[in-house]
Amino acid sequence: MLGASMAGLLAARVLSESFANVTIFDRDTLPAGAANRKGVPQGEHSHGLLARGRQVLEELFPGIVAELTAAGAIPLDLMRDCVWVTGDRPMPRVASGLAGLCVSRPTLEAAVRRHVLACPDIVVLDGHEATGLLFDGVRVTGAKVRPVAGGEHDVAADLVVDATGRGNRGPTWLAALGFDRPAEERVDPLTVYVSRDYRRVPGAQDYAAIINSPNAGRPFGAVAIAADGDRWMVTLLGVGAGQAPPTDAFADFAAKLPDPRLRELLSTAEPLGPPLRMRLPASVRRRYERMSRLPDGLVSIGDAVCAFNPAYGQGMTVAAAEAIELRDALRAGREGLPRRFYARAAKVVDVPWDIAVGADLANPEIQGERTGKTRFLNAYVARIQTASGRSAAVGRRFLEVANLMQAPPALFAPSIVARVLWFGRRRPAPAPAARRETVAV
Ligand SMILES: Cc1cc2nc3c(=O)[nH]c(=O)nc-3n(C[C@H](O)[C@H](O)[C@H](O)COP(=O)(O)OP(=O)(O)OC[C@H]3O[C@@H](n4cnc5c(N)ncnc54)[C@H](O)[C@@H]3O)c2cc1C
């Protein structure tokens, strides 16, 4: 296993059902507890765990949600306990049955790592960088690994899983073995995040998260997620030229949002640290499932296969869902595993990719191919976003799909389409004050 972050840890747990020994290599020195680290720079920005991700975690590590809750994480119903604004007003706050978890990324990863380390068949070797693959002409037979202390050695393995994240070198390693590189789809979301933690007084608010997603008419947004350590993790985001959020005027930026609650929160909350800025890297999808030749003995998982704009917070949930696909593919045998796994993983990735990248492409500034399907989906999703503020049924269905708890056809059920068309119709903008005066006169 290469990479000991979310995808690597979850995959290691499922591999331990099929292999006698699992060794995970990570190039970082892993902290003993919950701490940010160099290999996961996004961990300093707001993270939340969606319903499918939480479900998988609990399935693989029974009791982990209760442990995290005892450590300060906040379990929530993702509709009732959240202020979600996808259009011009918040969704109705009703119980949805979508159980998510508000938890900082380092705390979540540390808990998962603790559980994985408790598995007797799994060993984690940190401070070890993977530098290439071993190949016998037919299959991948292991990996080359370089300890920080120096030197490089070969590690034999029946299966190598590449979970080295967004910047992974899998395609280059494949090319060095004489295989094609996977086709890549790439969309730069031109997005800047600015994040800062604020002190949270438990019980002072009746919500656990505020999520203002950007949309075609509003190229900026913001989230506040309650987290362990009595914190609000707040992230402001802007899409495209001139939209980068400020690092020093969080409440002013929040005042531009359609819902006032984030501005109200920020106008009194005490900052707990400096603001952090990140230019989001391009979203990348590697199409391993379309390759005509793949070596046996190697699969990639998590951000190494597809890393996208985290506007809907789906990355860790995708890694978790892929781990379950890897488990199920392995249960069916090892023959042709990569091809079977990638076919399953592609189905997992389709939905969040279409939602996240589709949302990016709804902004005319973002470069990328807009197929007929993209245009149709964007027009429909724009209506869903508006309708979600007016119809609980539409909001719930959209969240069920975004949380990977329902397949996308659920968005096209007749009762939902009817509501989307009715509640999602474009409303005339309120008349500007000057015009109203003219009419009144
Ligand atoms: C700003 C931001 C906010 C996000 N918010 C959310 C959110 O709210 N919810 C959500 O679900 N997702 C979110 N995501 C996405 C999420 O962070 C990723 O999808 C997730 O971390 C992917 O996990 P991974 O294990 O595939 O990769 P990573 O977490 O990137 O981990 C890769 C690991 O590989 C190691 N590594 C790299 N190269 C090597 C090598 N050569 N040898 C050995 N080890 C190596 C690294 O040290 C690291 O441990 C967010 C992403 C960003 C950028």
> What single letter denotes the amino acid at residue 253?
F
Distance CA 210, CA 84 (A): 6
Q: What integer best gives the mean pLDDT of the chain?
A: 93
Tell me, what amino acid is at 390?
R
pLDDT at 433 over 90: no
Indicate the CATH number for domain 6-47+104-186+282-350: 3.50.50.60
From atom 15 of ligand 1, which residue's Cα is the shortest distance away?
A: 315
Answer whether 200's CB lies under 8 Å from 268's CB: no
Residue 300 Cβ contacting ligand 1 at under 6 Å? no
Contact present, 368 and 282 (Cβ < 8 Å): no
Q: Ligand 1 test: best mutation among 9, 23, 46, 47, most atoms within 8 Å of CB?
A: 47
The mean pLDDT of 79-90, rounded to a whole number, is: 95
pLDDT of residue 439: 24
The helix/strand/coil state of 91 is: coil
If one counts every other C-beta atom within 10 angstroms of the C-beta of residue 41, the result is 11
Express each pLDDT in 189-204 by its tens digit: 999 999 999 999 999 9
The sign of the torsion formed by the CA atoms of 418, 419, 422, 424 equals negative
Predicted confidence (pLDDT) per residue in 12-24, tens digit? 999 999 999 999 9
Record the tokens describing residue 230, joined without a space. 């009595």
CA distance 273 to 199: 10
pLDDT at site 428: 52
For residue 397, the surrounding DSSP H or E stretch is: helix 392-402
Sign of the Cα pseudo-torsion (322, 325, 329, 330, in order)? positive
Is 268 in a helix, a strand, or coil?
helix
Q: Indicate whether residue 311 lines ligand 1 (CB < 6 A).
A: no
Question: Where residue 356 falls among pLDDT bands split at 50, 70, 90?
Answer: confident
C-alpha of residue 236 to centroid of ligand 1, in Å: 20
pLDDT tens-digit readout, 253-302: 999 999 999 999 999 999 999 999 999 999 999 999 999 999 999 999 99
Distances (CA, A) of 282 to 17, 81, 279, 290: 35, 31, 9, 21
What is the tens place of the pLDDT at every residue in 290-349? 999 999 999 999 999 999 888 888 999 999 999 999 999 999 999 999 999 999 999 999
**441, amino acid identity:** V
C-alpha to C-alpha distance for 2 and 169, rounded to whole angstroms: 11
Helix (H) or strand (E) holding 191: strand 191-199
Q: Is 163 in the pocket of ligand 1 (CB under 6 A)?
A: yes
To test ligand 1's pocket by mutation, which of 1, 9, 13, 27 has the most ligand atoms within 8 angstroms of CB?
Answer: 27
Mutate which of 9, 40, 278 for ligand 1 pocket (most atoms within 8 A of beta carbon):
40
Query: For a pocket test of ligand 1, which of 5, 234, 308, 403 has the largest count of ligand atoms closer than 8 A to its C-beta?
Result: 5
Q: Indicate which atom in ligand 1 lies nearest the CA of residue 6.
A: 25
Domain 191-279 CATH assignment equals 3.30.70.2450: yes
Residues recorded for the chain: 441
- Structural domain spans, the chain: 6-47+104-186+282-350, 191-279, 356-423
Q: What percent of the chain has pLDDT over 90?
A: 86
pTM of the model: 0.94
Ligand 1 mean position, distance from CA 416 (Å): 34
Evaluated on CA atoms 223, 104, 43, 171, the torsion sign reads negative
Rounded Cα distance between 209 and 197, Å, is 13
Nearest CA to ligand 1 atom 28: 165
Classify the phi-psi angles of 203: left when phi > 0, otherwise alpha if psi is within -120 to 50, otherwise beta: left
Q: Is the CB of 389 under 6 A from ligand 1?
A: no
Give distance in angstroms: CA of 300 to centre of ligand 1: 13
| 219 touches ligand 1 (CB under 6 Å) | no
Give CA–CA dist 252/245, Å, rounded.
10
Minimum mean pLDDT range among 117-121, 150-154, 214-218, 294-298? 214-218
Ligand 1 contact, 164 CB (< 6 A) = yes
Cα–Cα dist 27/148, whole Å: 8
Q: Is the Cβ atom of 47 under 6 angstroms away from ligand 1? A: yes
Which residue did the predictor score with more confidence, 369 or 139?
Answer: 139
What spacing in Å lies between the alpha carbon of 131 and ligand 1's midpoint? 18
Q: Residues 6 or more apart from 360 whose CB is under 8 A from it?
A: 187, 189, 239, 283, 309, 366, 368
Q: How far is it, in rounded angstroms, from Cα 55 to Cα 317?
A: 9
Residue 432 pLDDT more than 50?
no
Q: Is 28 near ligand 1, meaning CB less than 6 Å away?
A: yes
Which one-letter amino acid corresponds to residue 347?
K
The per-residue pLDDT for 425 is 87
